[in-house]
Homo-oligomer: A and B are copies of this chain.
């Protein structure tokens, strides 16, 4: 039996995965409070015990966190407010020997899900990039997930697109990361700042007030030729395109999967990024790669985590 869990900042979801891609007994509940490790470990364990109903099972968990090493050590999860929590070991100990537990970065699990069952199925070299609140990446190389030396691979959101003294500060502590320009929370902040400072845009009318404007409204305004919105997208699209093109030049993927809330809601930004990528990308790499939007939506992480654990990737030793 394969069980997948998606532990995000908002929801805790779990399901049994059948026939590779079908979710059975799917449950979804708010993470809520308290969200200390002891509470969350207990809740995950109870979910697994209920789903497994006495059988043994493989449990894969995708987590919105930066991991360290390959035993489910959470180095940092701003969403859960955890620092240096051996989540994998705690959960594996609590569950006992009937269960095999693997813990994965959420974007890695999502990309693996798309690789096994979604828009990257059948491709052995894949780059997945998700532009949502932040920017995350995951890679498949030679048919295997790339976790890297310390399980931090795919930090494409923290590749630098500026490195002068005026480069934008990023929550990671450095400057000039692409996430600090194109990540959803940064874009949102900038939109409100510029409009509050007097920028004129049809996005305000579309949204019914400055305070309601989000990236989707800006995208619609840009599609209508709004000067301010187009200017913003013309600045951001090349930054995202360079990031994608540079990662592609290194990895030479066969499939680039794009997803995440910002790209999903912003078809104009997506199209402009795609056009800029054709200019800044390395030509042989572009020729070898097709681009697709993510297919599995919210289920990708659950599916991917379950498959990774069932393939013995980064299983927690107990």
Contact = CB atoms under 8 A, between A and B. Distances in A.
Interface stretch (A36-44, A47-55, A242-250, A298-306): A242-250
A153 interface: yes
Interface string A124-154: 1100000000000101011010111111111
B155 A250 contact: yes
A284 interface: yes
A254 B160 contact: no
A247 B252 CA distance: 13
A106 to B, nearest CB: 16
State the number of copies, please: 2
A156 to B, nearest CB: 6
Contacts of A285: 148, 150, 152, 155
Taking each of A160, A172, A285, which has the highest tally of chain B beta carbons within 10 Å of its own beta carbon? A160
A174 interface: yes
Contact of A253 (B148, B160, B279, B282): B148
B252 A150 contact: yes
Given A250-B159, A250-B250, A252-B153, A172 B282 contact: yes
